[in-house]
Copies of this chain bind each other. A is one copy, B any other.
Protein backbone atom coordinates (compact mmCIF):
# COMPACT_ATOMS: atom_id res chain seq x y z
CA UNK A 1 0.00 0.00 0.00
CA UNK A 2 1.05 3.63 -0.20
CA UNK A 3 3.24 5.64 2.05
CA UNK A 4 2.65 5.31 5.77
CA UNK A 5 1.65 8.26 7.92
CA UNK A 6 4.37 10.40 9.40
CA UNK A 7 4.34 8.60 12.73
CA UNK A 8 6.31 5.71 11.24
CA UNK A 9 9.56 6.93 12.72
CA UNK A 10 10.30 7.24 16.44
CA UNK A 11 7.35 5.14 17.62
CA UNK A 12 7.61 1.56 18.80
CA UNK A 13 5.90 -1.08 16.70
CA UNK A 14 3.18 -1.40 19.29
CA UNK A 15 2.48 2.34 19.22
CA UNK A 16 2.51 2.36 15.42
CA UNK A 17 -0.18 -0.32 15.40
CA UNK A 18 -2.35 1.60 17.86
CA UNK A 19 -1.99 4.83 15.92
CA UNK A 20 -2.97 3.05 12.73
CA UNK A 21 -5.86 1.29 14.48
CA UNK A 22 -7.21 4.63 15.73
CA UNK A 23 -7.32 5.89 12.17
CA UNK A 24 -8.77 2.80 10.53
CA UNK A 25 -11.33 1.95 13.22
CA UNK A 26 -12.55 5.55 13.42
CA UNK A 27 -12.93 5.70 9.67
CA UNK A 28 -14.49 2.30 9.01
CA UNK A 29 -15.78 0.86 12.26
CA UNK A 30 -14.82 -2.57 13.58
CA UNK A 31 -16.40 -4.88 11.01
CA UNK A 32 -15.33 -3.02 7.88
CA UNK A 33 -11.78 -2.45 9.13
CA UNK A 34 -9.44 -5.17 7.87
CA UNK A 35 -6.38 -6.17 9.86
CA UNK A 36 -4.46 -5.84 6.59
CA UNK A 37 -5.63 -2.20 6.42
CA UNK A 38 -4.26 -1.55 9.89
CA UNK A 39 -0.96 -3.31 9.19
CA UNK A 40 -0.53 -1.41 5.92
CA UNK A 41 -1.30 1.89 7.59
CA UNK A 42 1.18 1.11 10.36
CA UNK A 43 3.77 -0.03 7.85
CA UNK A 44 4.31 -3.37 9.57
CA UNK A 45 3.80 -7.08 8.92
CA UNK A 46 0.31 -8.40 9.61
CA UNK A 47 1.48 -11.06 12.07
CA UNK A 48 2.73 -8.38 14.45
CA UNK A 49 -0.81 -7.28 15.06
CA UNK A 50 -1.55 -10.66 16.61
CA UNK A 51 1.86 -10.84 18.27
CA UNK A 52 1.24 -7.61 20.23
CA UNK A 53 -2.58 -7.60 20.63
CA UNK A 54 -3.64 -11.26 20.27
CA UNK A 55 -6.68 -10.38 18.08
CA UNK A 56 -8.43 -7.67 16.15
CA UNK A 57 -11.18 -7.58 18.78
CA UNK A 58 -8.72 -7.02 21.65
CA UNK A 59 -7.01 -4.23 19.72
CA UNK A 60 -10.36 -2.60 19.05
CA UNK A 61 -11.43 -2.92 22.67
CA UNK A 62 -8.30 -1.13 23.81
CA UNK A 63 -8.76 1.71 21.33
CA UNK A 64 -12.44 2.03 22.22
CA UNK A 65 -11.72 2.15 25.97
CA UNK A 66 -9.26 4.94 25.30
CA UNK A 67 -11.74 6.82 23.11
CA UNK A 68 -14.55 6.48 25.62
CA UNK A 69 -12.21 7.79 28.30
CA UNK A 70 -11.23 10.66 26.03
CA UNK A 71 -14.86 11.50 25.27
CA UNK A 72 -16.23 11.24 28.79
CA UNK A 73 -13.19 11.45 31.02
CA UNK A 74 -13.12 15.20 31.38
CA UNK A 75 -16.83 15.92 31.54
CA UNK A 76 -17.31 14.45 35.00
CA UNK A 77 -14.68 16.63 36.74
CA UNK A 78 -16.24 19.72 35.20
CA UNK A 79 -19.73 18.73 36.36
CA UNK A 80 -18.77 17.56 39.84
CA UNK A 81 -16.74 20.65 40.77
CA UNK A 82 -18.57 22.38 43.62
CA UNK A 83 -16.41 25.51 43.46
CA UNK A 84 -17.64 26.72 40.06
CA UNK A 85 -20.87 28.38 39.01
CA UNK A 86 -23.32 26.86 36.57
CA UNK A 87 -22.28 29.49 34.03
CA UNK A 88 -18.61 28.57 34.38
CA UNK A 89 -19.37 24.88 34.07
CA UNK A 90 -21.26 25.43 30.83
CA UNK A 91 -18.56 27.66 29.36
CA UNK A 92 -15.78 25.26 30.37
CA UNK A 93 -17.64 22.25 29.01
CA UNK A 94 -18.50 23.87 25.68
CA UNK A 95 -14.99 25.25 25.16
CA UNK A 96 -13.30 22.01 26.09
CA UNK A 97 -15.52 19.78 24.00
CA UNK A 98 -15.47 22.06 20.98
CA UNK A 99 -11.66 22.12 21.03
CA UNK A 100 -11.45 18.35 21.44
CA UNK A 101 -13.95 17.69 18.65
CA UNK A 102 -12.31 20.12 16.27
CA UNK A 103 -9.26 17.88 16.64
CA UNK A 104 -11.28 14.64 16.51
CA UNK A 105 -14.45 15.25 14.51
CA UNK A 106 -15.10 11.56 13.93
CA UNK A 107 -15.05 10.76 17.66
CA UNK A 108 -18.72 11.31 18.58
CA UNK A 109 -20.08 9.09 15.81
CA UNK A 110 -17.50 6.44 16.63
CA UNK A 111 -18.38 6.47 20.32
CA UNK A 112 -22.15 6.73 19.85
CA UNK A 113 -22.17 3.86 17.38
CA UNK A 114 -20.30 1.68 19.82
CA UNK A 115 -22.60 2.60 22.72
CA UNK A 116 -25.63 1.74 20.60
CA UNK A 117 -24.30 -1.62 19.45
CA UNK A 118 -22.51 -2.59 22.68
CA UNK A 119 -24.05 -0.67 25.59
CA UNK A 120 -22.16 -2.86 28.06
CA UNK A 121 -18.90 -1.16 27.15
CA UNK A 122 -20.40 2.15 28.19
CA UNK A 123 -21.74 0.83 31.45
CA UNK A 124 -18.16 0.25 32.58
CA UNK A 125 -17.33 3.94 32.64
CA UNK A 126 -18.36 4.76 36.15
CA UNK A 127 -17.66 8.53 36.13
CA UNK A 128 -20.48 9.05 33.62
CA UNK A 129 -23.15 7.89 36.00
CA UNK A 130 -22.07 10.40 38.56
CA UNK A 131 -23.13 13.20 36.24
CA UNK A 132 -26.77 12.95 37.14
CA UNK A 133 -26.55 11.25 40.48
CA UNK A 134 -24.23 13.40 42.47
CA UNK A 135 -22.93 16.27 40.46
CA UNK A 136 -22.90 19.91 41.39
CA UNK A 137 -24.04 20.65 37.85
CA UNK A 138 -27.32 18.81 38.31
CA UNK A 139 -27.86 20.30 41.73
CA UNK A 140 -27.44 23.75 40.22
CA UNK A 141 -29.86 22.93 37.39
CA UNK A 142 -32.46 21.69 39.85
CA UNK A 143 -32.08 24.81 41.94
CA UNK A 144 -32.55 27.06 38.94
CA UNK A 145 -35.36 25.16 37.21
CA UNK A 146 -36.83 22.63 39.63
CA UNK A 147 -39.83 21.98 37.38
CA UNK A 148 -37.76 20.72 34.42
CA UNK A 149 -35.89 17.38 34.48
CA UNK A 150 -32.15 18.23 34.46
CA UNK A 151 -31.57 15.64 31.75
CA UNK A 152 -33.32 17.99 29.32
CA UNK A 153 -30.64 20.61 29.83
CA UNK A 154 -27.82 18.11 29.74
CA UNK A 155 -28.94 16.64 26.42
CA UNK A 156 -29.61 20.10 25.05
CA UNK A 157 -26.13 21.29 25.93
CA UNK A 158 -24.65 18.13 24.42
CA UNK A 159 -26.90 18.41 21.38
CA UNK A 160 -25.86 22.00 20.71
CA UNK A 161 -22.17 21.17 21.19
CA UNK A 162 -21.68 17.66 19.80
CA UNK A 163 -24.31 17.30 17.09
CA UNK A 164 -22.66 19.78 14.68
CA UNK A 165 -19.65 17.45 14.62
CA UNK A 166 -21.79 14.38 14.05
CA UNK A 167 -23.55 16.15 11.21
CA UNK A 168 -20.43 17.89 9.91
CA UNK A 169 -20.33 16.25 6.46
CA UNK A 170 -24.02 17.00 5.96
CA UNK A 171 -23.75 20.60 7.15
CA UNK A 172 -20.64 21.32 5.09
CA UNK A 173 -22.46 20.00 2.03
CA UNK A 174 -25.67 21.96 2.67
CA UNK A 175 -23.84 25.25 3.21
CA UNK A 176 -20.92 24.60 0.80
CA UNK A 177 -18.34 25.17 3.53
CA UNK A 178 -14.77 23.93 3.69
CA UNK A 179 -13.10 22.58 6.85
CA UNK A 180 -11.65 25.93 7.82
CA UNK A 181 -14.94 27.79 7.51
CA UNK A 182 -16.69 25.07 9.47
CA UNK A 183 -14.08 25.23 12.21
CA UNK A 184 -14.63 28.98 12.44
CA UNK A 185 -18.34 28.33 12.94
CA UNK A 186 -17.52 25.86 15.70
CA UNK A 187 -15.34 28.51 17.37
CA UNK A 188 -18.23 30.97 17.14
CA UNK A 189 -20.41 28.45 18.87
CA UNK A 190 -18.11 28.47 21.88
CA UNK A 191 -19.57 31.93 22.59
CA UNK A 192 -23.08 31.31 21.29
CA UNK A 193 -23.88 28.08 23.10
CA UNK A 194 -23.28 29.30 26.69
CA UNK A 195 -25.36 32.38 25.84
CA UNK A 196 -28.12 30.19 24.45
CA UNK A 197 -27.97 27.80 27.38
CA UNK A 198 -28.46 30.68 29.77
CA UNK A 199 -31.39 32.09 27.87
CA UNK A 200 -32.92 28.62 27.82
CA UNK A 201 -32.36 28.24 31.54
CA UNK A 202 -33.72 31.69 32.31
CA UNK A 203 -36.80 31.44 30.10
CA UNK A 204 -39.84 30.19 31.92
CA UNK A 205 -42.98 29.28 29.94
CA UNK A 206 -45.80 31.86 29.92
CA UNK A 207 -48.81 30.76 31.94
Taking beta carbons and an 8 Å cutoff, which residues of A are in contact with B?
27-32, 106, 109, 112-113, 115-117, 119, 122-123, 128-129, 131-132, 148-149, 151-152, 154-156, 158-164, 166-171, 173-175, 177, 185, 188-189, 191-192, 195-196, 199-200, 202-203, 205
Asked if A109 contacts B112 (CB within 8 A), the reply is yes
Oligomer: number of copies: 2
A-B contact pairs, 13 of them (CB 8 A): A28-B117, A29-B29, A113-B113, A116-B169, A119-B169, A151-B174, A151-B177, A154-B171, A163-B163, A166-B166, A196-B196, A199-B200, A199-B203
A203 and B202 CA atoms in complex are apart in Å by 11
A152 and B196 CA atoms in complex are apart in Å by 11
